[in-house]
Structure 1
Amino acid sequence: MTTTVQQILEQKGSAIHTVTPEVSVFEALALMAKFDIGGVLVTDQGKLVGIFTERDYARKVVLKGLVSRDVKVGDLMTTNVRTITPSETVDEVMALMTERRFRHLPVVEDGQIAGIITIGDVVKSIVSQHENTIRQLSSYIAGDIAAH
């Protein structure tokens, strides 16, 4: 059985951490540190307008010598954000993340943010699927051996 994004959200919860474009990079980083997350969604009046991640910070603040207290998230966020839907499969999401080198994908349903999936969530799901398959095969083999 193929796991969907919806199933991952049900297991991990759909907590969403957002900031507005006017928030300083420093404030966004503080929020990310508080919740031990690698990125925040950027919203304007409830609408997804971007994403700001540790990668954005490293490449757009640190390397350019900017000061995180002086720069706004809106100036550095990644716009044109690729989103996924709850019905997409883990395999589809893994392929997209690998191909496009994404580590975070917002989940949107009917125009509303439903959650966010990380590469860690996808890997955890795949490992769980494999562990389940191994248990089933082990049980099958043990039952087959016992029958002979």
Structure 2
Amino acid sequence: MSTTVKEILAGKSAEILGVTPATTVFEALELMAKADISAVLVLESERLVGIFTERDYARKVALRGKSSRDLKIGDVMTQNLLTISPSQNVDDIMSIMTENRFRHLPVVERGKLVGIVTIGDAVKAVMEEQRKTIEQLSSYISGEMSI
């Protein structure tokens, strides 16, 4: 059975770090560095309006020679996000991430933001599933259990 997004979120901090479109890129980068994360969600009155990632910074700010101290997140954030629901499983999110070349997926339930899942979260869940399968097979082979 594949791990659900809800189960992944249960193992993470419930805190959702976000910024507003009016936040400067520099302030967002400071927050990201302090929290040791590579993306922040962009919120307006608790409504998800975008995401700002290290990739956005590299491609839309640094490579274009713009100043992160003056530039607003709203000008460089990624909009029109794909979101996932807590009921989806790790296989779903791995597919979505691979096909779209995303490393972060906001989780929305009944129109409300409930978290974010990263590629690292997904890989960790897959590795845990594989570890459990190996343990079960090893136990079966050694005769310690029956299926």
| The structure with more helix, counted as a fraction of residues | 1
The residue matched to 1:143 in structure 2 has which SS?
coil
Amino acid at match of 1:35: A
**Deviation readout 1:2-47 (Å, 9 max, x if unpaired):** 1100000001233210000000000000000111001000001110
What is the identity percentage for the equivalent residue pairs of Structure 1 and Structure 2? 60
Within 5 A, what are the aligned runs for 1:12-31?
12-31=12-31
User: CA offset at residue 113 of structure 1?
Assistant: 0.6
Question: Using the alignment, how far apart are the partners of 1:75 and 1:132 within structure 2?
Answer: 45
Gaps of 5+ in 2: none
5+ residue gaps, structure 1: none
2:56 partner amino acid: D
Summarize deviations over 1:113-148 as a string: whole Å, max 9, x none. Answer: 10000000000000010011001111111117x9xx
Tell me if structure 2 keeps the 8 A contact 1:25–1:69: yes
Aligned residue for 2:40?
40
Q: Deviating runs (4+, > 2 A) in structure 1?
A: none
Figure out how many residues of one structure are paired with residues of the other and give that number.
145
Counterpart for residue 96 of structure 2: 96
What RMSD in Å do the two structures reach over aligned CA positions? Answer: 1.2
